[in-house]
Structures are given as structure tokens and as C-alpha cells.
Structure 1
């Protein structure tokens, strides 16, 4: 069967993009053909994937996304697919993978009411309603149960259309037998020697992920501890405003920004602590990747996967509303307590050995392929 996957942008280091790739490859392994509609594709194209670059432009993103949808729907009318699977919210989907939080909820709780008068709001609200509305037929793949009541509250979505997936940790994130050697090599490469500490924050979209909060926590460390601590921030984004913030806080020499990269497992093994004080995060797969590598985590409860860290007792989860002083104190106390870090590491590895943290792609493929095939020209 021909499957059509829709996502605005693919790049190798985004969490949603990596989930898309694993799900599409799981479907391909079952004998189905993969076509992908994108505005932009970065990196290598997997074997036998048909990548269709949608040639539309607009001054504003929401208008470009509308043109993308119209172009894709016209192309599907010419070249039908048995299923249409979306990784961004848009009309006409058979299955949607809910990588993003509820737009309507954010618009009503985090924005000025005047925001809802603009064209950007009207576009994204309509596209979300096309997926979650009670009269829609789209099946919805959720990456955490916490998403379900939020969408249901705003849209009255029938519960049978929701499918909660287990996480999808890649096998190369699990702690290997040579972890100590990899750790030593990474720390030597970045000049982390002796009794120095290495913090990592990993994820594209530095503002959303709370990099500003991490820089404040680094600056708030007691002087002797701060001089022993390095922070590596890894992800796809413009680091300039955060470098300026680091300079203002006086920690520029303690921080290094790296672009998204394929050797993230080395950093998970080489670091002493992952910090992830995100403002909002539907999932946060990097938290679980850290846990299965044996790296303790401090994150915010707003992260969809934070409950796994709490259940495993593999780190500290900060409640909402966020308290910067509490985060600062948690980072400092964790760095000063080697015993706590060892306990969190042991707990995380034990949880990783017994819990299903790995089958997201297979379960998603089950839902996609069990749905009745669409008729040519439908929807």
C-alpha cells in the first residue's frame, strides 16, 4: 500500500523528526511504499523513500502552511495514497502523530485575548480543530496520556480515536558495555578533567526548551562550584541571544553551544547531569534517552515524559509553576551529592531494563495499517 507522510520540515536531530523516520521505516519494513511531503528536507533520504518537495512560498508561515496543504491535497488527488499520516496538524489526515501540545490551550492560557483576533491564531486553531474536532475521522497517536484530557476538554474528541503510544527510545541510547571508555573519551575531547562537572541540555528550539533558565542556574552556582562546571547545549537553533545572555550573566567561558549532531549517545555517557527546564514539551524523548544511558535528569513537570523519570526515581521533576530559585538549588545540590547521582543512575538503568520504552514505531505502525484504506478521491 502507498502511504503518504506529511511534515513541514525534516532534519535529522529533531525528536518528532526521528519518530517520523522510525515510524515510516517500520511501515516500510512491512512492505508498504513511503511518500513524504515536505517543505524542507535536511540530511540523507532513506532508501526507497519518495520525498516530494512542496514548491510553495508565502511571507508568513501560516499562509505557507495553508498553501502546502492545498498543494498536497491536489497532488494526492492525482496520485492517491491508502493512508495520509501527518506530523503537523492539518486537514485531511487519516492519522495524526501528536508531537506538539494543544495550540488552543496555549492560546487561551498563555496569550493575551487579543491574540485570538489575528490570522495566525485563526489558521492554527482551524487546523487543530480539523484533527481533534468531534466530527473529524482522524485517528490520533499520543505520546503521553497527559495530552488526552487537554485535547478532549477543548474539542470533545471521542476517546476511541486516541491511541497512547509507548516511548520510542532508539537502541543506541542504551548504556553500552564500554560506557566508561566512551565517557572518558568525551570528557577528554571537551577538556572536562579532574573533579569538573559536565551538564548537558539537548534539544532543538532553545527558547522552548528553557535554555535561558539553564544559564541562570549555572550563573547561580556558588563560585567554587561554578568554576568546576561546564554546560554543553546541543540542538538546532540560533544560539546568539543565549550567548548574549551568558555574557551578561558572566558565564560565557562555562558554556558551549553545539549544533545538532549524530553522536548524542556519547554526551549522555560523558555528562554528569542532564537539565531540561522546558517551558512546554509534549514529550521530551531526550529525558528517557538520558535515563536509559544512566544519566540523571532534572526537568520540569510540563514535559510529557517527566512522569517516567519520577516513576523510576531517576532524577528530579520540578512542579509548575516553575520556580527559578528552586531549579537553581536543585542543580547545585545534585552536583554536590555524588551518592544521589549514583542512586538516580542505578534506578534509571533498572527501570530501563523492565519497562517498555522502545516500541513506539511498531505500535504506531499497527494503528496506521489497521485503519481501513481510504477510497480514491475521498476526503
Structure 2
């Protein structure tokens, strides 16, 4: 041992911009921002997905001195996937001998609790990134919420809404479990450095004056893709040349269903499905408006990125998002599951460039308050608080 505190960051996988999203990106940026003179950072993925983006992110992490380890290949049968991952990671954790295990995401949290059962001496930090975990499995959501107060050493919420939910849980109050508030953050300098100069309008052969909207994220129901498509269809009634870009990928049949919905709405020539893109930040910067139609979120990284590069935002008025997008100040909000309201806000920003510019300027200032460096310093204090001073 070299005297540093060894921290395992447990995440689903290195699938940013592909099958994953803001949670994975935030975990990577946090690992990079931690002071590696004091902390030995190891990124442990629950599964290997065999996607091209994994190699890109692994190379970047290893270049920054961060170890990367994988569990088994991903199995779409989720129960089997969890059991296989837990089995493999038990052996891996025994070999790595970390001082702290820090989980990100619902399945990482479950496996983290499983690892804690086999070794109670390793503190477990669980960061909750969303206001609604396991949306399709309410019993599992209830069960995990009841177990975290007993098996996690500390829980962290990335937004005020999440922290409030955690602190009001009966078992959290009974056990007096510590709840920390550490906001999501972005690395603005890295965002600027990694811009690739992509001109998405030019690449797609679009006229410079065509209204260009974009949605960036996993292709899931959570992201409100059906609502976004319906809203865009309404926008096209008034702005017939408008184009919508969708960046991201998803599991199973849902991406194809969304494409079929776009075709049914008469949008097949107006919606570009770009899949996972390593230059997503350049695409965001080239939009007239970033659209977020999510039904629930934590503290959405993609909105922070849009704000940081000066792209106006239209988003749903949901917990987490509304902490970033202050209506009429740093963007426009619309009720969730309300395509007409989303469409109205989208049209308003295109029709009023002065308003769009004012909101974008204020949003850039707001985004600067959410720094990954500040988040990393808070996590470092948390890590140190869990390790006996004689061990540091």
C-alpha cells in the first residue's frame, strides 16, 4: 500500500452516450477530479457491454492514472446479470482490497449492498442520482430503500429533491444515517478542451437558418421521447423546416418503437437519429435549442453541459431539472407530459432570439456554479471522514 485512500467507484459500465448517460459521465469526471496524490481511484464496472465507447473511455481513464476493472459480460436477463456481477465482483473486491466502495446507480447500489454483506469492514457510500429508481419495479424500489439505511454507511443525493426524499425516509431517521448533499457538477475546462469542431449542420447538409432542436440521452421512456416527438410535430406545424436531432441509444425494442412513432407523425425526414456520439458536446453547442422532455431526473448533466456552452434549454418542470433551469431566467420550463406546452416554449425561443440569448447568458453563469472540482473536494472530505485517522 502507498498510503493513499483506495476508493472503488462502482458504476454500471463505461457506456456514456451509448447505453448510459449522465450518471456514468459524472462518475468518470468525479474519478478524474479526485486528488490522486491522496486517493487511489479504481473504476469498477458491473458489466462489460462490448461497445466501442468502452474502449475510448477506458483509454482516457487509464491515461489519467485510474485503474479500470470489469465484471462479466452484460446479460439482458437482469436477475442473471446481477447475480453474475455480484459473484465476479466479490472476488475482484477481495483482490483490490479498497478502503471505500462508492456506488452510482440503482443496480450498482444493489450490488454494493451485496458486497457489504460479505465484508462489513469496508464503508459503503451510495450516491442516488435520480428521484425514481427502478421505475418498472416498485417492490424492488421499496425493498432497496428499506435496506440502504442499514447497509450503506452514508447516502448522498445529487440534488435538493433527492436529498429531501432521503432525509424524510422513516428508516433513515430511525437509524440516523448520514445524508450528504453533493450536487452533480461538470468540468467546463475539459468540455472546452475536448471540443472536436464538429459542425453538425454542415455534416447533415442543413441550411444555416433552419431551426435546429436536439435531444441528448438514452432512448428510454424516462426521457419522455414520445412527448418530445409529439411536441416537435406541433412545432413543425408552425416551423415546417425545423429539424430535430436525437443523440443516444437504448436497449431492446424501444428505440425502434420511437422511430416508428416519428414515422407515424410524419417526421421521418425531419428527425435525425444519430446514436451514440463522442462529439455530443459539439452537437449540443450547434443547436438552437436543447430539449429535455424527461419524466424524472436527478440533476441532469446534459442540461448543465448545454447551459455551459450557451445553448438555450427547454425542459420539463420536474425535481432536479428545475434546480438548474430557472423558468424565464436560465431557460424555459413546461409541465411534464405536455407536448403542447413544450412546443409552445420551443417555438417561443426560435421566434425571439433576444430572449434565447438572454436566457443562454444567464444559464452559462448558472452552470459555472456546478463545478466537478467542488463536488470532488466534498467527496474527498466524505472519504476522509470514513477512514480512521491512524490509517490515513
**Cα distance in structure 1, aligned partners of 2:390 and 2:75:** 32
CA-based RMSD = 3.2
Conserved? CA contact 2:166–2:179, under 8 Å: no
Q: TM-score, normalization: structure 1?
A: 0.82
Q: CA deviation at 1:40?
A: 1.5
Question: SS in structure 2 opposite 1:282?
Answer: coil
Which of the residues 208, 219, 225 maps onto 2:222?
Answer: 208
Deviates more, 1:157-166 or 1:366-375: 366-375
- Alignment of 1:126 with 2:140, yes or no, is no
- Alignment of 1:62 with 2:82, yes or no, is no
Question: SS in structure 2 opposite 1:95?
Answer: strand
Task: String of CA shifts for 1:218-275, please: whole Å, max 9, x gaps.
Answer: 11125351x2211000012263211111110001101001122221221222111011
- Alignment of 1:343 with 2:358, yes or no, is yes
Name the counterpart of 1:282.
298
Conserved? CA contact 2:29–2:186, under 8 Å: no
Question: SS in structure 2 opposite 1:200?
Answer: strand
Name the counterpart of 1:220.
234
**Cα distance in structure 1, aligned partners of 2:219 and 2:190:** 21
Conserved? CA contact 2:248–2:276, under 8 Å: yes
Name the counterpart of 2:48.
40
Task: String of CA shifts for 1:279-337, please: whole Å, max 9, x gaps.
Answer: 111121111111121111111122513322107812112235x3222222222222222
**Cα distance in structure 1, aligned partners of 2:329 and 2:22:** 23
Name the counterpart of 1:246.
262
Q: CA deviation at 1:172?
A: 4.6
Conserved? CA contact 2:236–2:242, under 8 Å: no
Conserved? CA contact 2:297–2:319, under 8 Å: yes
Conserved? CA contact 2:26–2:184, under 8 Å: no
- Alignment of 1:30 with 2:37, yes or no, is yes
Question: SS in structure 2 opposite 1:208?
Answer: helix
Question: SS in structure 1 opposite 2:269?
Answer: helix
Task: String of CA shifts for 1:166-219, please: whole Å, max 9, x gaps.
Answer: 33112257679xx9x968x33222223143111011112332211211111111
Unaligned runs of 5+ in 1: 108-114
1:224–1:75 Cα change, 3 Å: closer
Name the counterpart of 2:128.
98
Deviates more, 1:252-261 or 1:72-81: 72-81
Name the counterpart of 2:344.
329
**Cα distance in structure 2, aligned partners of 1:36 and 1:175:** 24
Name the counterpart of 2:99.
82
**Cα distance in structure 2, aligned partners of 1:78 and 1:265:** 37
Unaligned runs of 5+ in 2: 117-122
Q: CA deviation at 1:68?
A: 2.4
Q: TM-score, normalization: structure 2?
A: 0.79
**Cα distance in structure 2, aligned partners of 1:268 and 1:5:** 28
**Cα distance in structure 1, aligned partners of 2:306 and 2:74:** 38
**Cα distance in structure 1, aligned partners of 2:225 and 2:283:** 17
1:275–1:303 Cα change, 3 Å: farther
Name the counterpart of 1:189.
203
How many residues matched?
354
**Cα distance in structure 1, aligned partners of 2:335 and 2:211:** 25
Q: CA deviation at 1:136?
A: 3.9
Question: SS in structure 2 opposite 1:103?
Answer: coil
- Alignment of 1:268 with 2:284, yes or no, is yes
1:70–1:246 Cα change, 3 Å: same
Q: CA deviation at 1:147?
A: 0.6
Name the counterpart of 2:329.
313
Conserved? CA contact 1:4–1:36, under 8 Å: yes
Conserved? CA contact 2:131–2:161, under 8 Å: no
